[in-house]
């Protein structure tokens, strides 16, 4: 038996074939979707929306899991911090403690401190020292908007 002979053409050499995404250049995602057949594009959009909804639901469940039984109190504090920021008022622990007492939400200053720390760790608020109090972040504001 003889060995098969292979002929390598320049057009089929490995150097001419793109092997990484960098070789293809930047492709705009919207352009790719736009060029898809209608049925595939509709399926893609439907899946994209389903994924987004699952992520949003998962985020709320995740926060409920983190906040535990105090989920409502965390949301209350976050909303009050947002309201104070919108009015240009300070939203420190003492102010939040007063507001909680007015609304008959029974939290101690230490509990509020711990809750503010957790909200800060999640990126929902920025905690300042001194009279500046707390400020809601864009992430915190977006979270509240998704709850409404």
119, pLDDT greater than 80: yes
Q: Kindly write down the DSSP assignment for every residue of the chain, as one continuous string.
A: --PPP----GGGSGGGS--SHHHH----HHHHHHTS-HHHHHHHHHHHHHHHHHHHHHHHHHHHHHHGGGHHHHHHHHHHHHHHHHHT----HHHHHHHHHHTT----HHHHHHHHHHHHHTTSEEE-SGGG-EEE-HHHHHHHHHH-
For residue 134, list its beta bridge partners: 127
- CA-nearest of 111, 110, 138 to 124 is 138
CA dihedral 78, 84, 87, 88 (to 10 degrees): -120
21, pLDDT greater than 60: no
**pLDDT at position 34, please?**
75
Indicate the pTM of the whole model.
0.59
pLDDT digit string, tens, across residues 32-71:
667 778 878 788 888 777 777 666 666 667 777 778 888 8
For Cα atoms 60, 70, 52, give the angle at the middle one, nearest 5 degrees: 5
**pLDDT at position 3, please?**
55
8 Å CB contact between 94 and 137? no
What confidence tier does 90 reach under pLDDT thresholds 50, 70, 90? confident
8 Å CB contact between 58 and 93? no
């Amino acid at each position: 038996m003889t060995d098969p002979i292979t002929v390598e053409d320049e057009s089929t050499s490995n150097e001419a074939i793109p092997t990484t995404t960098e070789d293809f250049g930047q492709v705009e995602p919207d352009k790719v979707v736009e060029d898809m057949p209608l049925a595939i594009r509709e399926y893609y959009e439907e899946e994209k929306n389903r994924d987004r909804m699952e992520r949003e639901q998962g985020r709320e469940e995740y926060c409920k899991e983190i906040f535990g039984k105090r989920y409502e109190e965390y949301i209350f504090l976050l909303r009050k911090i947002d309201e104070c920021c919108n009015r240009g008022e300070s939203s420190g622990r003492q102010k939040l403690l007063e507001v909680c007492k007015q609304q008959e939400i029974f939290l101690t200053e230490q509990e509020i401190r711990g809750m503010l720390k957790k909200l800060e760790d999640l990126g929902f608020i920025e905690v300042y020292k001194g009279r500046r109090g707390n400020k809601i972040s864009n992430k915190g504001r977006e979270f509240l908007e998704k709850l409404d």
